[in-house]
Amino acid sequence: MEPRSFYSLLFLLLALASVNSVHGQGTRQGFYSSSCPRAESIVKSTVQSHVKSDPTLAAGLLRMHFHDCFVQGCDGSVLISGSNTERTNFANLGLRGFEVIDDAKTQLETACPGVVSCADILALAARDSVVLSGGLSYQVPTGRRDGRVSQASDVNNLPAPFDSVDVQKQKFTAKGLNTQDLVTLLGAHTIGTTACQFFSNRLYNFTANGPDPSIDPSFISQLQSLCPQNGDGSKRVALDTGSQTAFDLSYYNNLRRGRGILQSDQALWNDASTQKIVQGYLGLIRGLLGLKFNVEFGKSMVKMGNIELKTGTDGEIRKICSAIN
């Protein structure tokens, strides 16, 4: 075996071992192995079925898990419907995939009534969405319980598309996540879309001289045609131009080219402390491109998935994910 091939294989084996050995505080792998042995397979098959019909749901489920964990912790509070709940906040109006979680919950209540939490279903669905989009699988520790509080006002501290790197760091640090986690988790924007209203400010009168100067000049006209000035702010645009359904490195490559869509995304390349992490994901030898990112993404997802957990006797196991018992 050639040295390069040997080291590639060694890195792969170490990487896979690393992903599979990560565990959380208060949760554990195989939590439902006795109480509901088919829990993970039921969630997986449900997500597969829905994503096969609509591939864009993968990004929706991944994003929903992020939005859940950053508000009240990973407790499924984003799933609760009703007036003034998290779902009604402006930042969450674009979330998609609630029907997938509801479908999985219905099946799980038939198989194992009152056992599997909605928070765990969402965490598992996010992982399965990554895999279905071409990403590397990772083990999801389970054992979360569902929260009983969901308030629209609590969503105001969610990371925003206009945040600077410093503000993003503050918000991630408050949740126990570091700069590596920040850059890695934003890599989830390799799939999915955003609305014109979240970045069109960069295209017109951003400065006295016109558009945001960090945008590749040859890319501006394309974005302006997608989001005309005073146009439909709800129109959806790919976060990762040219690769919106593939979990790959294209998102980071676009940042390097000045083609990040959100201001908060492009800021990762413009700040020295985060640029070096982006460069680290882009700078590996050809045969390993994407592997390091996939491994780190799994680690950071597990870390995020254990923010402010409710376990043991805290919270509840909802019968219906959209309603408190």
Give the per-residue pLDDT at 289: 61
> Across residues 141-152, what is the average pLDDT?
97
Q: Which of 158, 125, 153, 155 is nearest to 140 (CA)?
A: 125
- Is pLDDT of 5 > 60? no
Angstrom CA distances, 39 to 98, 106, 135, 144, 302, stand at 18, 12, 21, 14, 18
Residue 8 has pLDDT above 70, yes or no: no
In tens, the pLDDT along 207-233 reads 888 999 999 999 999 999 999 999 999
Q: How confident is the model at residue 288 (pLDDT cuts 50, 70, 90)?
A: low
Report d(CA 47, CA 45) in Å as an integer.
6
Confidence category of residue 14, pLDDT binned at 50, 70, 90: very low
pLDDT computed for residue 118 by the predictor: 98
Over residues 119-134, the pLDDT tens digits come to: 999 999 999 999 999 9
What is the average pLDDT across 31-36? 97
3-state secondary structure 256-291: HCCCCCCHHHHHHHHCHHHHHHHHHHHCCCHHHCCH
- Give the pair of three-digit tokens for residue 46: 């449900």
- Rounded Cα distance between 76 and 197, Å, is 27
Look at 5 and 204; give whichever has higher pLDDT.
204
Q: Which residue has the higher pLDDT, 21 or 53?
A: 53
Active-site residue set = 67
What's the confidence (pLDDT) of residue 209?
Answer: 81
